[in-house]
Chains A and B, each alone.
Chain A
Amino acid sequence: MDDPSQTARRVVIGFGDAANLPEADDLPTESMPLNMGPSHPAMHGTVRMVLEVEGEKIRSVDVQIGYLHRCFEKEAENATWTQIFPYTDRLNYVSPMLNNVGYALAVEKLLDIDKKIPERAQFIRVIVGEISRITDHLTCLAASAMELAAFTVFFYLMKAREWLWELLEELSGARLTHSYVRIGGVVADLTDDFCPKLRDILRRCRASIADADKMLTSNRIFRDRMDGIGIITRDDALGWGLTGPVGRSTGLAYDVRKDHPYLVYDRFDFDVPVGSKGDNFDRYAVRLEEMRQSMRILEQAMELLPAGPVLIDDARVALPPKREVYNTIESMIAHFKLIMDGIVVPPGEIYSFTEGGNGELGFYIVSNGTGQPWKCRVRPPCFANLAVLNKLLPRLFIADLVPTFGMINMIGGECDR
């Protein structure tokens, strides 16, 4: 920036030559490298951003990920099909049930038993999945709000998440990493008082979400940092493969649950909220509305929930009851084969996709006919969503980075796998 005319300008400053004074935007400045992360308070998830800033303005950015690469694929290639569920829990660890369901569906398609899954199990999968979606968005909004210094909102939303987690804990035994879904159904039926509890919790969640809504949506500071910041167009969404709330905020009304209904989603009446501008506020608003829609689905699902078994009746997929295992050689053998050799999945390839917390969660699985996958690839939605930051951030202010990143909702476990 040693353009003589510029230096000349700087000289005349203060001599009343107001007309030629530079605008605030094109003040001549030295560009400076600035490193954010991988451990930064305003970054939930470990990501490193090497920024080149001009004053407060970001000129270019290099987003570096991989700090949480836990080799999901390598671990999966060395585990049986059932052993992979715990790993899927830890992909998008904010909505584990959705990953469980997505993975189970993929394997079931390979096994050609996806039509034979008991209906009750499918409903339960929808229910736990939608609960997970709510906790996902709650966490996203809570964290972002906290990063924008709205700590009270954080408390409100965390409280709501806590209720939901306690419910899932009663169901699966774990607060966060449930491993509740199985190939062929779910591991256990709902607890007796699950539905009444859930209804009560939803009522309370509505209240605290409404509070958060009031505190944020009409909050001047919040709006200033969200409105019109980080605008993504529909074409960007297509080119960068943006799905989920990020994609929908651009007006791209793509929701797997609507466009390619899986499980029993075609039986529920719910709307897919889309944004108009594709800025941070739209992403926030879409998430807020999606939680309400999920609650609608949950209420309908509880209405329609049929009775019946929750695990497929197929000795080559489902474990026999423990009493049989301990007392008869037949079931003992079946149990043994299923645990030690694993479920034998016929050779083939499948790309199965569901609507995860962050968008299209795809599983591309290659089986060579043994008890473990040859390849188990996850199509991580927020990997694609995060990539767009490289295009988004330049020409924003450093302060805009925080809400923009927060609304992308990068989840390390899913992005780096």
Chain B
Amino acid sequence: MAKIILDRLAQQFVAGEILETGSQHGNEWARVAPAHWRAVAQFLRDDPVTALNMFIDLTCVDRLGRTPRFDVVLHLYSVDNKHRVRLLAGVPEEDPSIDSVVSLWPGANWFEREAFDLYGVRFAGHPDLRRILMYPEFVGHPLRKDFPKEGRQPLLRRLPGSVD
């Protein structure tokens, strides 16, 4: 069913814009060139055939050792057609930034803040890109693979004799 989406993308966009598409375990996914991230998302939302008008999830994957290192992952759903799609866009480690989709789905606001907080991916055009889960004083992006699991950064001096 959701094959419709991939076909539609194939019709609408050229190879340089949609890099790769596939389907696994019943999930349809398309890898998008970061430059066309927002355009593709907007098309999928507004196109009457796909009508992926519901924002589901936006996150990031750190594929350490691969270039580009990060993937921004967006999940969309169509309430009317009952199909969904996963969009991925590679983001390099040197300049981890990509267009924001907050203007398309206001719900993306917090999800993009979280991706920035935990992975350090910057979203161009985001209204206020602050940390959301970690505190502002925190240094680094903890969900990156090279961030130590127990890299605590206390805000408060420990009591004497307390063992960490």
Contacts and interface: CB of A to CB of B under 8 A. Distances in A.
Interface stretch (A125-133, A280-288, A345-353): A345-353
Contacts of A375: 61-62
Given A239-B107, A260-B82, A71 B142 contact: yes
A65 B29 contact: no
A69 B105 CA distance: 25
A364 B149 contact: no
Interface string B37-61: 0000000000000000111110101
B12 interface: no
Given A110-B25, A252-B79, A351-B75, A65 B56 contact: no
Interface string B48-89: 000001111101011000000000010100010010101000
Interface string A352-394: 0100000010101010000000110101000110011011000
B interface bracket (residues with beta carbon within 8 Å of A): 35 or more
B96 to A, nearest CB: 16
Contacts of B13: none
A278 B8 CA distance: 34
A387 B107 contact: yes
B105 A239 contact: yes
A69 B27 contact: no
A379 B56 contact: yes
B82 A259 contact: yes
Nearest to B132: A66
Contacts of A241: 54-57, 105, 107
Contacts of B26: 109
A65 B133 CA distance: 6
A70 to B, nearest CB: 10
A25 to B, nearest CB: 27
Given A74-B149, A350-B27, A364 B75 contact: yes
Interface centre among A64, A66, A109, A416, by most B CB within 10 Å?
A66
A238 interface: yes
A387 B27 contact: no
B133 A69 contact: yes
A377 B86 CA distance: 14
Given A351-B27, A364-B73, A238 B55 contact: yes
A73 interface: yes
A417 B86 CA distance: 22
Contacts of A7: none
Contacts of B54: 238, 241, 254
Contacts of A151: none
A245 B30 CA distance: 31
B107 A384 contact: yes
Nearest to A360: B56
A64 B84 CA distance: 30
Interface string B92-127: 000000000000011101110010001000000000
A71 B53 CA distance: 30
Given A65-B132, A66-B133, A239 B142 contact: no
Nearest to B82: A259
A387 B109 contact: yes
Interface centre among A241, A348, A349, A416, by most B CB within 10 Å?
A241
B24 A349 contact: yes
Interface string A384-417: 1001101100000000000000000000000011
Given A69-B134, A374-B61, A384-B111, 12 more contacts: A66-B132, A66-B135, A110-B25, A240-B105, A240-B107, A349-B24, A349-B29, A349-B86, A351-B57, A379-B56, A383-B110, A416-B133
10 contacts: A109-B26, A238-B53, A238-B55, A238-B105, A241-B107, A351-B86, A353-B56, A364-B75, A375-B62, A384-B111
- Closest 6 pairs between A and B when the two form their complex, measured CB to CB: A240-B107, A66-B133, A241-B107, A241-B55, A379-B57, A69-B133
